[in-house]
Chains A and B, each alone.
Chain A
């Protein structure tokens, strides 16, 4: 199975007037240009923060959301463009295990019907007795024994772990090839999690399954996955074998994620350079590399833009307090309406203030935080009549590049862009 340039975009609801006038509303790029090759029999982990697009990618793999563009090759078919009718037939080979087992089962359907339903939908059994036997077989495989006691149970009569087992039983009953597991254990009790993961590994061995394991939990990803794809804002930023990524994370974001894993040993203090700020608005992602505003190692080509300047001022004001904010905010008020991807920031000083004030402020800000990666991206600050013009280095989108055993999307690992000494710094 192969994903090529896969994109899933969601249109944000725009006002009725805007729709009448035909202007397109904002778009959230939930999945934005993903290329991943999925090999038969492997476990691929999709890891990322919430909002990184990992669930959407998993759902797109099964055709549950329609990709905006790109291809999903599965055998001879392209799932992205297959009509629903043909897709339905393929669904028996592609199954999903959901995050919330309490919601994934129809509350009014007993287990016999619920688990056997895929068989009926695909016409795989000819009689009730056969369906019953298959259901019992599936229940036994997932460890719900004695199976006949569970046949007539309603989901409400089961515990969370049992429900998740039932969901897995329903997913495997048709003999699928690919199972997309969307955080299958995050809603379960700690005591049950390991058992469910073990069950999934057993099933993989017995039924020759391929897994796509979606999670935000690095510990289980390390335990469970053969390969891991780290996602950030709809893109895969690093993709490679699990051991290599955990032993030597290349992308600053991966490094930050691994640094955030809590360590149970109170004696050992790891330096935690957690990424600053929040995950950005997916409707207006940063220019260039999406991670650059939070990245401690960002440098010239990472895609600096006027919005980053505003963010820098906001950080400064949070640090220095309200008085500074009241004084400086009017000076840079022009930054409030910068657009996405502005390579130059023109800050017009209001008529009652001096342009030299702003120039002074810029110098002061730079002197105060010389380590802020933002300054590496600034090419020059010029003073015009009543305007300060800040020019940024031209940025570009990092693509996935081979670096050692992994693919990583970061300019730091691009030999053409890598600055001298980046290896040391990185």
Chain B
């Protein structure tokens, strides 16, 4: 903003822009790095996982366009009811369910629910978990002890049970919607981020650069946000991706048990599965298969992505790509001629060959 006031050297004009570009480039290359560095099985997992997840994301974002009907629609535009247990085909690609919902629409809308809930839950638990972990690790003393005790007691409960309890408690106040499900799942995952971030903070706060920040007069809050945060969140993306997969299952589990999102609020795969349990015995396979398949695909996609990320980013198990170097075969006749000439003109081609063997 003040660049105008300064008599500018020639490069002064795009200071802000240049800086923004550097940041953006750094950010983008940070995202692209795992894809570039991965190889073999890790690369396969990462890419196939990303493709699956992107498909589901597209489905979630554009569900109003993709789904032919609403998630709680039981009659078409003319007011004619769909009829129950219609076989797949015709107007209803995946058939209709016991209550007369269009299964395909339910599956598509379900993607939106799942993605919304998981994103919300991740955002909440990331925010709370990282913040508390940072505080506990940085402040230490009794804050640390109390927080660790609370988190450990949360850990002691089975994830689904904890989610049910939270969902149950919140249902009265918040209602049976997306927010309740997201908060219930949040409670399950906070301890994981807390632990990882706390451990990283404890080791990072002994670093010299933290003391340097103190020596330059930074306030504790500045130290935490500007010096520690960026250094302790490195391993969080991997956990977040793996947790997202787990969160889908927890959400479905909640819905299956009837503590999740109410069927009138949104379409939810777990709930659909539960309604389809009775159908399976009578040969109606489509009501259960498609929501189940959707769960499997999304969970698989996220898991593959998480494991792939882990494989490329976790220094403990990472195997860097090895590229074999093929040394250029020296043409004896050429070599002799070069020797005789006292020059090395004939070897320029080999430089390119060497460059192909890009070893990192």
Contact = CB atoms under 8 A, between A and B. Distances in A.
Interface in A76-103: 88-92, 95-96, 98-100, 103
A62 B208 contact: no
B231 interface: yes
Interface of A: 62, 64, 88-92, 95-96, 98-100, 103-110, 112, 117-118, 121-122, 126-130, 132-133, 148, 152, 167, 170, 174
Task: Point out which of A88, A106, A108 has the most chain B C-beta atoms below 10 A from its C-beta.
Answer: A106
Contacts of A121: 216-219, 222
B2 A108 contact: no
B227 interface: yes
B1 A108 contact: no
A126 B5 CA distance: 13
B215 A105 contact: no
B217 A89 contact: yes
Given A117-B226, A121-B217, A96 B212 contact: yes
Contact of A129 (B5, B212, B214, B217): B5
Contacts of B231: 106-108
B101 to A, nearest CB: 49
Contacts of B2: 126-130
Contact of B217 (A98, A106, A122, A130): A122
Contacts of A167: 212
Contacts of A170: 212, 216
A107 B226 CA distance: 11
A90 B230 CA distance: 27
B317 interface: no
Contact of A95 (B16, B19, B216, B219): B216
Given A88-B217, A121-B216, A64 B1 contact: no
Q: Chain B contact residues: over half helix, strand or loop, or mixed?
A: helix
Given A126-B2, A129-B5, A129-B15, 16 more contacts: A62-B215, A64-B215, A88-B217, A90-B217, A91-B215, A91-B217, A92-B216, A98-B212, A110-B22, A112-B19, A117-B213, A117-B226, A118-B217, A128-B15, A128-B16, A170-B212
A104 B217 contact: no
Interface string B196-223: 0000000000011101111111110010
Contact of B226 (A109, A110, A132, A174): A109
A62 B209 CA distance: 16
Contacts of B226: 106, 109, 117
Nearest to A133: B6
A64 B217 contact: no
A106 B227 contact: yes
B11 interface: yes
A100 B218 CA distance: 20
Nearest to A103: B208
Interface of B: 1-3, 5-6, 11, 15-16, 19, 22, 207-209, 211-219, 222, 226-227, 230-231
28 contacts: A88-B217, A90-B217, A92-B216, A92-B217, A98-B211, A99-B208, A103-B207, A105-B212, A106-B209, A106-B213, A106-B226, A106-B230, A109-B227, A109-B230, A112-B19, A117-B226, A121-B216, A127-B2, A128-B2, A128-B15, A129-B2, A129-B5, A129-B15, A130-B2, A132-B15, A133-B6, A152-B22, A170-B212
Q: Which 7 pairs between the two chains have the least Cβ-Cβ distance?
A: A91-B217, A127-B2, A108-B230, A103-B208, A118-B216, A88-B217, A96-B215
A299 B211 CA distance: 43
Contacts of A126: 2
Contacts of B11: 148
Contacts of B218: 88, 117, 121
A106 B216 CA distance: 13
A324 B332 CA distance: 74
A127 B207 contact: no
A361 B234 CA distance: 65
Nearest to B229: A108
A104 B209 contact: yes
Nearest to B228: A106
B208 A104 contact: yes
Contacts of B219: 88, 121
Nearest to B5: A129
Contacts of A64: 211, 214-215
Contact of B212 (A89, A104, A130): A104
A100 B208 CA distance: 8
Contacts of B216: 91-92, 95, 117-118, 121, 170, 174
Task: Point out which of B22, B215, B218 has the most chain A C-beta atoms below 10 A from its C-beta.
Answer: B215
A117 B226 CA distance: 10
A170 B209 CA distance: 12
A403 B19 CA distance: 60
A59 B11 CA distance: 41
Contacts of B19: 112, 152
Task: Point out which of B19, B208, B211, B231 has the most chain A C-beta atoms below 10 A from its C-beta.
Answer: B208
A95 B214 CA distance: 10
B208 A129 contact: no
Task: Point out which of B5, B15, B209, B211 has the most chain A C-beta atoms below 10 A from its C-beta.
Answer: B209
A256 to B, nearest CB: 31
Nearest to B215: A96
B208 A98 contact: yes
Contact of B209 (A99, A105, A152): A105
Nearest to A108: B230
Nearest to A99: B208
Contacts of A91: 215-217
A126 B11 CA distance: 21
Contacts of B209: 103-107
A391 to B, nearest CB: 48
B1 to A, nearest CB: 7
A117 B215 CA distance: 12
A99 B209 CA distance: 11
Contacts of A174: 216
Contacts of A98: 208, 211-212
A102 to B, nearest CB: 9
B17 to A, nearest CB: 13
A106 B230 CA distance: 9
B271 to A, nearest CB: 43
Given A109-B226, A152-B19, A95 B207 contact: no
Task: Point out which of B16, B212, B230 has the most chain A C-beta atoms below 10 A from its C-beta.
Answer: B212
Task: Point out which of A117, A126, A174 has the most chain B C-beta atoms below 10 A from its C-beta.
Answer: A117
Nearest to A105: B209
A348 B219 CA distance: 59
A30 B230 CA distance: 33
Nearest to B219: A88
A96 B216 CA distance: 8
